A and B are shown apart, each in its own frame.
Chain A
Amino acid sequence: MINKFLGFKPDEKLLPHKTVTADTEIDLSSHKYQKIWLGPNHPGVTGNMAVELTVQGNTIMRAKTHVGYLHRGFEKLIERRLFVQGFPTSIRMCVAEPDTNEYFIARSTEELSGYADAVPEYANWLRMLSLEMARLQGLLRGVPGQGGTFALGIGVQWGVYLRDLILDRFEELTGARVYHMFIIAGGVRGALPSGFKGRMEDNLRDIDDFIIRIKKLMFHNSVFKTRAKGLAVITPDMVDKFGIVGTNARCCGVKRDVRKDNPYLYYEKLDFDPPTATDGDVYSRTWIRWQELIQTVDLIRQIMAKMPEKGDIRCKMPNVLNWKIPKGETYVRLESGRGEMGMYYVTDGTDKPRRINLRGPSYTHAISVLEHMLIGQDVADVHAIMVSLQTCPPEIER
């Protein structure tokens, strides 16, 4: 009003933008904007990746994901190795849940060489157990990790302790803590040790307590609620457009779960219903993952109750050093803790694969989705958004 009275007309170009969209024009030479790099060495960034932010004050105008800090050329290396040598290499592509990659290579080679139906029942139950244990240890880090991005650090410490107990069970079952190489072509490497179920049940009881405590810590916390509600919303129309999968799709009501849609192993024999929400924000994603934590504990109990006491752990397979697989191609998928993961596997009749290509959920979540969602957000919320999308750079660059 005073400006109108004085006849003063401010130059709109020099004022901050009221609304920010992907189309907002940015002139870096105007000195209104600043470029900052978040990562690759930053405790809040999920792994070795960087986000190049163009900001105006605290508001993000543009975001660009940079990966490549962790590229080790695994897909190329596997092309030059025997089928069996692909196992120890492939699991390094995903630190968070390496068992998924073991399953992909095992299943692809079995399918392409005609051994898909030969895998013993007991081995398939053990595969399912190890995959669910992998999901559980991932969730024990992921669910409290979301609280950690809002300064609720104690939950992370509880979660890491309990994750270590699950890693103890992994060590008992497979001999390794992080990279297990348990699922191999034709079956698994070993049977369930005696007394395993009892010790696992003890750990699951501890996790039951943790589930209640983490609920009080995070979902009853006013700071968490205020900051996470309405933040970085995924809408149902974004799901197919961006290729969003897993919990990130379920948080806005799009019920996608490979275990239900394209059942593999014996998931049809288990009683479960993937949780969904409708809001699509960070709060919903965390809430769904918390419910998944309950569900995963229940699934492990169901698996241990329903699996046979003993049986064959693998079928008779060809000599792995001279194993040649006929020319062919396939795509094998499963539901990991972060959403649909899959592997495109091509053979050419030799003793080595022609091409393998891992499709991790982060490939879209950490690049096109993250870059789209960060526009207009506050710099302080970037970590929370990244963790809520469960970005994992190793599966992008492979």
Chain B
Amino acid sequence: MKELIEKLSSKHELQEVVYQRDNLVFAAISKENAIEAVTYLRDYEDFTHLVMMSCVDWIEDGKFQLLYLLHNPKLKNDIGIKVYIDRENAEMVSAHHLWKSVWTYQREIKEFFGVDFPGSPRVDENFVVEGWDDIPFMRRDFDTHEYAEKTYFPRGNRKTNDPAEYMRKKLYPNQPVTAKQRKDDK
């Protein structure tokens, strides 16, 4: 994998290179060079299988992280190409021309995170939720609890237990639980 990273870094500037396992490496690359690097890996380095595309919301940095995870069926190893894009007006070049499965991932990421992929087939069609009018629900600033309280009529006399609190009592009954300790834990 080291040879591959050296080869790739001679073409494009790589950041955050992490050898997670012998057969799995992650590397970040600029938005402009990402699709070129992915195409190079597919056509010249035998990373012919796109395992998945994913997105992570790093709200504190104002960035979305896109992941292109590629697998090399000959050498049986994987590389994760990461791309950081701005959260504001998030947009990325579409890769639907590279694999037939890409447009589904891009359609999902558009709906779940609001990252646009101009030109990707059916990218604006609803994927999982229909008629959604709030912010994309997988963003970190979307609060599922608040949404449920606001949208669904609360049932009266309903008791709820905090699962973490319940487990604490069950597993560690002798452990003193104070408000201060809970605050420190967080």
Residue numbers of A with Cβ under 8 A of B are 67-68, 71, 73, 75-77, 79-82, 84-85, 111, 240-243, 256, 261-262, 319-322, 328-331, 333, 340, 342, 344, 346, 351, 354-355, 357, 359, 363-364, 367-368, 372, 397
Contacts and interface: CB of A to CB of B under 8 A. Distances in A.
Nearest to A355: B56
Given A85-B164, A256-B73, A321-B172, A359 B56 contact: no
A197 B119 CA distance: 57
A368 B100 contact: yes
A240 B48 contact: yes
| Interface SS of chain A | mixed
A354 B60 CA distance: 12
A344 B101 contact: no
B167 A321 contact: yes
Nearest to B82: A329
A372 B101 CA distance: 11
- Residue picked from A243, A330, A359, most chain B C-beta under 10 Å: A243
B104 A368 contact: yes
Contact of B137 (A76, A85, A333, A340): A76
Contacts of B103: 368
A68 B127 contact: yes
A354 B140 CA distance: 9
A330 B56 contact: no
A75 B52 CA distance: 15
Contact of A331 (B69, B138, B167): B69
A263 B11 CA distance: 32
B100 A372 contact: yes
A261 B76 contact: yes
A372 to B, nearest CB: 7
A243 B69 CA distance: 12
Contact of A73 (B23, B48, B100, B137): B137
Q: Which of A84, A240, A363 has the most CB of B within 10 A?
A: A240
Interface string B144-160: 11000000000000000
Interface string B63-82: 00001010001001010100
B185 interface: yes
A242 B51 contact: no
A80 to B, nearest CB: 7
B179 interface: no
Nearest to A356: B54
A269 to B, nearest CB: 18
A82 B164 contact: yes
A215 B127 CA distance: 39
Given A76-B137, A364-B104, A243 B20 contact: no
A322 to B, nearest CB: 6
Contacts of B49: 240, 243
Interface string B125-148: 011111000000110101011000
Contacts of B145: 80
B54 A357 contact: yes
A77 B144 contact: yes
B129 A241 contact: no
B26 interface: yes
30 contacts: A68-B127, A68-B129, A68-B130, A71-B129, A76-B137, A85-B164, A240-B49, A242-B100, A242-B101, A243-B101, A261-B73, A261-B76, A321-B164, A321-B167, A321-B172, A328-B20, A329-B20, A330-B21, A331-B69, A331-B78, A331-B80, A342-B52, A344-B54, A357-B52, A357-B54, A359-B52, A363-B104, A364-B101, A364-B104, A368-B100
B99 interface: yes
Given A329-B26, A367-B104, A321 B127 contact: no
A319 B181 CA distance: 14
